[in-house]
Amino acid sequence: MRRTTILRTGLSALLLLGTWATAGSLPASAADTPPRSTEAPASSALLSAMQRDLGLTRDAAVARLASEKTATTVEQKARNAAGSAYGGSWYDAGSGKLTVAVTRAAHADAVRATGATVRLVRFSARQLDAAKKSIDALSAPAGVGSWHVDPKANKVVVDVVAAHRDDNDVRAFLSRARKAGPVAVRETPAAPRTFAAGTVGGDPYYTGNVRCSIGFSVHGGFVTAGHCGSPSAAVYGWDRSYIGNFQGSSFPDNDYAWVNVGSGWWTVPVVLGWGTVSDQLVRGSAEAPVGASVCRSGSTTHWHCGRVLAKNETVNYSQGAVHQMTKTSVCAEPGDSGGSFISGDQAQGVTSGGWGNCGSGGETWHQPVNEILNRYGLRLHTA
């Protein structure tokens, strides 16, 4: 397989030959790696996608990425300062700052000292997480799309498919959910679904008759979505040449997997922007806060951007519930499953599923990449 062939086809995500094979520095672990302040905040392709999808100028996109980096650093410090009074946090694009909820005013000054804005709330994050865990134990009907802790609302938010809100089984589920703790109900226009696709020629990787997208390069392979293939299933590249096999896969309950890479294929710390090969280098996996911008690369719809809407959300797919997902306002379509979610130069997760499309809009969930790295003992390949 020649490097010039891969350059011409623009292989999605991370599998390239040639000089990129030595582009990585020392490997990152599953622990968050802070962004390097001396590096450019993002590639031109990522900035262009932010301008298109978030309605920003280029300067505003650069400024937003800078303030989000600061918020990511502040979040852990503020959480430590709040201690047991911590009620969650979210990034506010208007102010460019992180807001931290606390249950006791006595902790407010210590949290403000970290650079965060403070809001007093009734319930702590621990209380809300406990309520969500109780709801996770319930059996959800198809009319319930997902549920997550919303720190801004200081409640567990349950998304119900609008057409099924009055169904008896949905009403019964909500009644049981409210007994677990503070619950708010919101409507969603459609039920979530995964974004795998049938075979289409010229796409990044196949397993069986399913096409999915490569997520992030790890040393020895790449991570992707679990619903794309079962353990030991063979994986083939865009040209139908053999890449490797699924070494681990979990779906439902989780939606993650990893594939070993061999047979002439190499891994590199790159997420493609569909137009240039080395679109975006991956330099770590620091998790962006709720409210921060995030972009996605996939083999069907290429680059799209949006915001982080929620974390630790349980998504009720038709195949079963998937836990600890991150919800975003980014669109996606079949074939994008497994693809890269990235914030600046920091890996966030692999595309799982959602509702809607990139013509009319929608929402998409990703499985956080650090969870996948920790689960399988993998090391992120970074530049």
The residues assigned a catalytic role are 227, 255, 337
Q: Under the phi-then-psi rule, with left for phi > 0, alpha for psi from -120 to 50, and beta for the rest, what region is 226?
A: alpha
Say which DSSP state 123 is in. Answer: S
Contact predicate 382/25, CB 8 Å: yes
Residues paired with residue 368 on neighbouring β-strands, in sequence order: 349
CA distance 306 to 296: 9
Number of Cβ within 10 Å of residue 48's Cβ equals 17
Contact predicate 103/120, CB 8 Å: yes
Of 190, 196, 233, whose CA–CA distance to 352 is shortest?
196
Residues paired with residue 317 on neighbouring β-strands, in sequence order: 320
CA distance 20 to 358: 31
Contact predicate 348/369, CB 8 Å: yes
Contact predicate 121/102, CB 8 Å: yes
Pairing of strands 86-92, 216-218: unpaired
Contact predicate 264/214, CB 8 Å: no
Contact predicate 274/303, CB 8 Å: yes
* 255-281 as b/e: b if 16+ CB within 10 A: bbbbbbbeeebbbbbbbbbbeebbbbb
